[in-house]
A and B are shown apart, each in its own frame.
Chain A
Amino acid sequence: MAAITLKNIIKSYDKTQVVKGIDLAIEDGEFVVLVGPSGCGKSTTLRMIAGLEQPTSGDIIIGDRVVNDIEPQNRNIAMVFQNYALYPHKSVKENIVFALRRLKVDNDEIERRLSEISEMLQLEELLDRKPADLSGGQRQRVAMGRAIIREADVFLFDEPLSNLDSKLRSHMRTEIGKIHNKFGRTSVYVTHDQVEAMTLADKVVVLHDGYIAQYGTPMEIYLNPTNIFVAQFIGSPSMNIIEGTLFNDYLDIDGHHLPREKLSNVAYQETISDSGLKVKVGIRPDFFNDKAFFSETDLTFNFNNVVIDLIEPMGFDKEVLFNLAGGSVKARLDLRSDITLGVKIDLLVDLSRVLIFDPETEQRL
C-alpha cells in the first residue's frame, strides 16, 4: 500500500529532454492512467517509477521513501511489460511464482496463491508449459499472474494489452478492472488507447511531448479539457475545432449566433472590442442531435439547414459530416436519423457543452 509522488521529474537522453518536468501525486489505491501519443514519454515515466531508469533530476517518492537511489528489486513493485518479458526457460508456474521464491514465501502459501490466481486468470491447464508454447493472450495472462501474485505495493502496466486483438483486449481490460477492484493496489497504467484510459482510470494523466497536458478524472478530462490537445486526444471521434468569433453578447460561428449567456462552460469575462475576438470553438460530435428526435430548449442552439456531405453508419449510431466556417464538422447522430447525402437537416447543440480556446496558446478561455 503506497502513494506515489513525482516531484519535478526530468529525464534527458544525451542532450534531449524526453520528460520535461512532471509533478504528480497519486493517492494510495488509486488507478492512474498515463495516456498520450506514441513517444510522449509515458514508458520513460513509468520506468522511472519502477527504477529501470534514473531520473535526470527530481524526486520519486513511493510510500514514505524517496526511491531515487533504490534499485528496482528493492522497491516492492510489480510490473506488466508490453511484450510480457516472460522467462523462456521457466514453466508458466515458475514464471508466476518466481518473485515469491525470492521472498522465501513458504510452499503451502505459494501453492495457495498460485491456485487462486491461476483460477482467476484461467491458467490452470497451462502451468507446466513453457512461454513459447502459449498464444499471445495466454502469455499476457501469465504476465498478469506474475505481477499480481506478489501483492506488491504498486502495480505498473506498460501498454499490457496493445499486442492483443481487439476482442481479447476489451475482455482483458475488464479483467484488469476487476483485479484492481479486488486488490485495490496503487496502479499506474500506460496506454496510448484513450478507451482504456477512460474505462479503467480513477484519474487520467494526459501526457504531451514530455509535459502533463492535463490531470483529472476521466469525466473532467472528457467534459472540461483545458487545451485543444487534450480536447482532441480524448474522445472518439475527436472534438471538432471550428473557427469562431466571440462578441460581448454572442459567439459567431459562420453567421450562427450562439447566445453568450447560455454558454455556461465559457469562462472568459473580459470586455471585447466591437471587432470581436477570434477563437477556436470546440464541440464534440456527441453533443449534436438531430432536431427531428430532440426538442429544442433554451439551452440548445439550432444549426439549421446544414447540408450533409458524408454519412458513416457505425451500427448503433451514425457519423455525419457537414461544412461549417470553412471546415468539416462531424456529428454523431443516433440510428433513428434517416438522412441521405445532400439533404438539409437541423442540428441541435447543447450550449453548455460548447468550449472556446485561444487560437494562439490553444488553452481554454
Chain B
Amino acid sequence: MTPLERAEAKFGWKLVAPTILILGLLILYPLMYNVYLSFFDVQLNGYKTFVGLENYIKLLTNTDYYSAIGTTSLYLLGTVVGTTLLGLAMALLLKDPFKGRGLVNAAIMLPYVAPVISVVFGWQFLFDPISGVVNYLFVDVLGIWSERTNLIGNPDSALWVVVLFDIWKHAPIAYLLILSKLVSVSRDQYEAAAIDGYGPIGRFFHVTLPELYFVLATVVLLRLIWNLNRFEDVYLLAPNVQTLPIFTYYQAFTGVIDQGLAAATSVIQLAVLSVFIWFYIKKIMKW
C-alpha cells in the first residue's frame, strides 16, 4: 500500500465503523442465537433441552434433506445460468443506442420491480391445466403435448416452472448490471482487435468477455446468494418444490414443529455458503 492508500483505508474504516457495529449486533445476535438453538430440542412453550449434536445427526440421516439439497442445486444451476445468460444476451442486443431505448429498458425492468405476490398469481394462471395459456398453446395450438398437464402440481416439472419464473423475474437485474459495464468498454479496443484480424466472435471472446469478467462473476455470486436463501417466490408459486429454505420452513413451522432441527439446517447452510463465498471471492474475483 502507498501512504495515500493507507490513509484512505484508515479513513474508510472510520467511516464504516458505526455501521459495522450496528449491523454486527443486528446480524450477529440472531446468528449466534441460531447456532445456540441448533444444539437444543425446542418445545412450543419455549422450553429447551440440550441435545448436543442430535439435531445434526437427525438431519444428516434424513433422506429428505438430501433431496432438498439436490433440488436446491438444480434450482441454483438453472436460475444462475439462466439469468446470467439471458441478461448477457439482452445487454449485447440492446447495447447500441436506438430510438425508444428508455421505454424498452423500463419494460425490461418491469418483472423485477413488480411485487412477487401479484405476479405469482399471474404465473399460476398461465400454467393452469384447464384455462391456462401454456396448456392451450402447447396442446391446442402447437400440438406438441398430447394432453393437458398440471405442470405446477407435479414437483418435478414445478421445479422448472419455478426456475423459469426466477429467470423471468431476475434477468433484468443481471441485464442492468452487465449493460452498465458493457457501454463503458472503449470502442478502440474493438477497433484494435478488428485490425489485429479478429471478427465479431474473436472480439467477443478477447475484448467483451475479459471486460465483463468481473461483473459476470458478481452477478453469478449475487444470484447464488440470493437464490440459496430464496423463499417467497418458490413457496408462493409452487410450495411442493422443496428447496432448502422451504425444507427448513416446513421443519420449523409446520407439522411436528422442530425449531432446533431447522436451526441446524441453517447453520450448515450458512457455513457452506460462507466457505463458498470466501473461496469465490479469493479465487474467481481475485480480490
| 0 or 1 for each of A52-81: is its CB under 8 Å from B? (1 = yes) | 100000000000000000011110011101
State in angstroms the CA–CA spacing of A239 and B189 once bound together: 41
Residues of B within 8 A of A71 (CB): 194, 199
The answer to whether B197 and A73 touch across the interface, beta carbons within 8 angstroms, is yes
Interface segment among B26-34, B206-214, B222-230, B251-259: the answer is B206-214
Q: Does B231 contact A (CB under 8 A)?
A: no
Proximity bits, B177-196, A CB within 8 Å = 1, else 0: 00000000010110111111
B199 engages A85 (CB within 8 Å): no
Contact flag A89-B210 (CB < 8 Å), given A52-B191, A81-B191, A83-B188: yes
Q: Select B199's contact among A50, A73, A86, beta carbons within 8 Å.
A: A73
Q: Which residues of B contact A146 (CB under 8 A)?
A: 192, 196
CB of B111 to closest CB in A, whole Å: 33
* Residues of chain A with a CB closer than 8 A to B188's CB: 81, 83, 85
Query: B193 — which chain A residues lie within 8 A by C-beta?
Result: 87, 98
Task: Indicate if the CB atoms of B191 and A85 lie closer than 8 Å.
Answer: yes
Task: Decide if A99 touches B196 in the complex (CB within 8 Å).
Answer: yes
**Which chain A positions have C-beta within 8 A of B186?**
85
Q: Which residues of A contact B210 (CB under 8 A)?
A: 87, 89-90
Tell me which residues across on chain B come within 8 A of A86, comparing CB atoms: 192
**Considering the chains assembled together, what is the distance between the CA atoms of A86 and B189 in angstroms?**
7
Q: Is A343 an interface residue (CB 8 A)?
A: no
0/1 per residue, A89-115, Cβ < 8 Å to B?
A: 110000000110011000000000000
Q: Which residues of chain B have C-beta atoms less than 8 A from A90's C-beta?
A: 210
Which residue of B192, B199, B210, B211 has the most chain A CB atoms within 10 A of its CB atom? Answer: B192
Given A89-B210, A98-B206, also A103-B191 (CB < 8 A):
no
* A73-B200 Cα distance, complex, nearest whole Å: 10
When C-beta atoms are compared, the residue in chain A nearest to B213 turns out to be A89
What is the predominant secondary structure among interface residues of chain A facing chain B? loop
The answer for the CA separation of A51 and B186 in the assembled complex, in Å, is: 18
A29 CA / B207 CA spacing, docked (Å): 32
| Assembly CA distance A103 to B210 (angstroms) | 21
Verify A87–B197 contact, CB threshold 8 A: no
Residues of B within 8 A of A103 (CB): 197
Roughly how many angstroms separate A72 CA and B199 CA in the complex, as a whole number?
9
In Å, the complex CA distance between A73 and B202 comes to 11
B194 touches A52 (CB 8 A): yes
Interface residues of B in 197-247 (CB under 8 A from A): 197-199, 202, 206-207, 210-211, 213
- CA A146 – CA B193 in complex, angstroms? 11
The residue from A51, A83, A89, A98 contacting B196, defined by CB atoms under 8 A apart = A98
In whole angstroms, what is the CA distance A316 to B243 when docked? 85
Whether B207 lies near A87 (C-beta < 8 A) is: yes
**Residues on the B chain within 8 Å of A74, using CB:** 197
A87–B189 touching, CB < 8 Å: yes
A87 contact from B192, B194, B195, B213, Cβ within 8 A: B192
User: A87-B206, A89-B210, A98-B206 in contact; A72/B189 too (CB < 8 A)?
Assistant: no
Please report the C-alpha to C-alpha distance between residue A73 and residue B190 in the assembled complex, in whole angstroms. 11
Alpha-carbon distance A271/B189, docked complex (angstroms): 61
A80 and B188 alpha carbons, distance in the complex (Å): 11
Selected from A81, A89, A102, the residue in CB contact (under 8 A) with B202 is A102
| Distance from B21 Cβ to chain A, minimum over Cβ atoms (Å) | 36
Q: Which of A51, A78, A85 has most chain B Cβ within 10 Å?
A: A85
Q: A142 to B25, alpha carbons, bound, how many Å? A: 53
Per-residue CB contact flags for chain A residues 257-286 toward chain B (1 = under 8 Å, else 0) read 000000000000000000000000000000
With a CB–CB cut-off of 8 A, which chain B residues contact A73? 194-199
Q: Evaluate contact between A79 and B195: CB separation under 8 angstroms.
A: yes
B189, B197, B213: the one within 8 Å of A85 (CB)? B189
State the CA gap A81–B187 with chains docked (Å): 12
> Nearest residue in A to B199 (C-beta to C-beta)?
A73
A89 contact set on B, CB distance < 8 A: 210-211, 213
| A90, B211: Cα distance in complex, Å | 11
A81 to B190 Cα, complex, angstroms: 12
Tell me if B206 and A72 are in contact (CB < 8 A). Answer: no
A72 touches B207 (CB 8 A): no
- Cα A86 to Cα B188 with chains together (Å): 9
How far is A88 from B208 in the complex, measured between Cα atoms in Å?
A: 12
CB proximity of A145 to chain B, nearest CB, Å: 12
Contact for B197 among A50, A52, A81, A102, CB less than 8 A: A102
Asked if A72 meets B211 with Cβ closer than 8 Å, knowing A83-B188, A87-B206, A98-B206, the reply is: no
**Most A CB within 10 A of own CB, among B192, B195, B198:** B195
Min distance, Cβ A205 to any Cβ of chain B, angstroms: 21
**A102→B198 CA distance, assembly (Å):** 7
Give chain A residues whose Cβ lies under 8 Å from the Cβ of B211.
89
In the assembled complex, 10 residue pairs joining A and B whose CB atoms fall closer than 8 Å, in A order, are A72-B195, A73-B194, A73-B197, A73-B198, A83-B188, A86-B192, A87-B192, A89-B213, A102-B197, A102-B202
Chain A contact residues, CB within 8 Å of chain B: 50-52, 71-74, 77-79, 81, 83, 85-90, 98-99, 102-103, 146, 150
- Return the 9 tightest CB-CB contacts between A and B, nearest first: A85-B188, A89-B210, A99-B196, A85-B192, A72-B194, A102-B197, A79-B195, A73-B197, A73-B194
Q: Known pairs A50-B195, A71-B199, A146-B196; list 5 more (Cβ under 8 Å).
A: A52-B194, A77-B195, A79-B192, A87-B189, A98-B193
